[in-house]
Amino acid sequence: MSNNPPTAATLITVAPTGAESEKSAVLALPVTLDELVTTAKECQAAGAAVIHVHIRDDQARPTLDLSRLKDTVAALREGTGLIVQLSTGGAVTDSFDNRIAVLDAAPDACSLTCGTVNFGEDVFHNPYPFIRDLYARTQELGVVPEFELFDFGHIATLHRLLAGHGAPHGGHVHCDLVMGVPGGMPGDAATLTQAVSALPEGATWSATGIGRTTLPVMFAALAAGGHLRVGMEDTVTFAKGRPGPASRDAARARPRHAWGERP
């Protein structure tokens, strides 16, 4: 395990929409601006502190339209006290230029994925020159990056990035271990322990378990002193044919029993 000390409170990030699920298949998915703001308010009331945002167009398709992103950031700031973190991952079909342009919407924070990963049947492309350019833009604009790590090679890339280009805006490194994606690292306690031990000294971290790995990753993260990301971007069913909780309920359902809390 790393030498990074656990913090006293659990930081909950909610990811309510994502770019993969279709509204027709997941009726509770917030895809309009009004739905997103309503969900954000409910999640804040349930204990969330950060909202990780993907947006949709009028046909509920993923989009990186800059005008919509700016309107979304403004509406979330007006309606909530949440830290607004925009996804720079978008959908797997989005161009590198459009993904970097997300930062022009002036969010508080953004995701920054530290490597390419097979994403189910698709490939989520993040070559090092793009990672470097995106990171430099966060530093220039004063946007705090959350380093998304899908595999151990991504952790090595993070060390390379920090060594070559300095600390992020604000001076603190915060990571999200994204676990259980087909093509990435598995979502289990042993893998989480190894991944945390490889993080930069002093970094804080959260963990995200995709699909059926949600609960194992949640409990492992709490036991290891980490934080959590929950929401319908990552988990839409309890089991096949059984819809999962709305994002507000996922935020509220963070384990509160003594055996589920951080030590």
Instruction: List the Cα angle 12/17/20 in 5-degree steps.
Output: 125
CA-based R_g, the chain, Å: 17
Query: What kind and span of H or E run contains 55?
Result: strand 55-56
Q: Give the span between the Cα atoms of 213 and 180, in whole angstroms.
A: 6
According to the model, what pLDDT value does residue 104 have? 98
- The chain-wide mean pLDDT, for the chain, equals 88
According to the model, what pLDDT value does residue 8 have? 59
Query: What kind and span of H or E run contains 201?
Result: none
Which backbone phi and psi does 151 adopt, to 5 degrees? -160, 170
- What pTM, to 2 d.p., does this model score? 0.89
According to the model, what pLDDT value does residue 9 have? 85
Are 147 and 176 contacting, i.e. CB atoms less than 8 angstroms apart?
yes
End-to-end, the C-alpha distance of the chain in Å comes to 14
DSSP 230-249: ESTTT--EEETTEE---HHH
Side chain identity, residue 74: A
**Residue ranges, the chain, pLDDT below 50:** 1-3, 247-250, 252-253, 255-263
pLDDT digits (tens, 9 = 90+) for 174-208: 999 999 999 999 999 999 999 999 999 999 999 99
Are 218 and 13 contacting, i.e. CB atoms less than 8 angstroms apart?
no
According to the model, what pLDDT value does residue 18 have? 81
Which of 3.20.20.70, 3.30.420.40, 3.40.640.10, 3.40.50.720 would CATH assign to domain 12-254? 3.20.20.70
